[in-house]
C-alpha cells in the first residue's frame, strides 16, 4: 500500500485531556479568576499569596516560578505561562472570556 492512506476519526475527549494535565486546569482557573495582568511583553500572575512575572521574548515565555526554574520549559509551560497565553488569545475560560 505505497502512498496509500485512509481517513480515520480519532476519539477526542476534552475532559480526559484536563484530567491528565493539572497545569491546564490550574491555568484556566487563574485566567478565569482575573489573576493575569498584561503589560506589553511582561505579564504578572497572582497565584496564592505570590505574584509571578511571565515574560515573552522571541515568541517564547519564561516565568519566575519554581516549575520554570526546575524544568526551563522541557516539561511544557508552567500554569502561569499557560494562563498568560489564554488571556492573550482571549480564550474562553470559566466565567466567560477574559
Q: Give percent of the chain above pLDDT 70.
A: 90
Q: In this predicted model, what pLDDT tens digit does every residue of 5-40 receive, in sequence order?
A: 888 888 888 778 778 889 999 999 999 999 999 999
13 falls within a domain? no
Is residue 32 assigned to a domain? no
Report yes or no on 73 lying in a domain: yes
Output the CA angle 58-40-90, nearest 5 degrees: 95
> Would 82 be classed as within a structural domain?
yes
68 part of a folded domain: yes
pTM of the model as a whole = 0.77
Q: Per the structure, how many domains does the chain have?
A: 1
Instruction: Supply the range of the domain harboring residue 55.
Output: 40-89
DSSP symbol at 74: B
Whether 66 maps to a domain, the answer reads yes
The answer to whether position 4 is within a domain reads no
Q: How far is Cα 1 from Cα 79, in angstroms, rounded to an integer?
A: 44
Structural domain contains residue 46: yes
- Distance of alpha carbon 98 from alpha carbon 90, whole angstroms: 6
Amino acid at each position: 500500500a505505497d502512498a496509500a492512506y485512509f481517513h480515520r476519526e480519532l476519539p477526542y475527549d476534552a475532559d480526559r485531556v484536563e484530567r491528565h494535565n493539572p497545569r491546564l486546569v490550574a491555568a484556566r482557573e487563574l485566567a478565569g479568576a482575573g489573576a493575569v495582568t498584561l503589560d506589553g511583553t511582561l505579564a504578572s500572575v497572582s497565584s496564592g499569596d505570590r505574584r509571578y512575572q511571565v515574560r515573552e521574548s522571541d515568541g517564547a515565555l519564561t516565568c519566575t516560578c519554581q516549575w520554570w526554574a526546575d524544568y526551563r520549559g522541557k516539561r511544557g509551560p508552567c500554569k502561569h505561562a499557560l494562563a498568560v497565553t489564554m488571556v492573550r488569545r482571549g480564550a474562553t475560560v470559566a466565567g466567560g472570556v477574559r
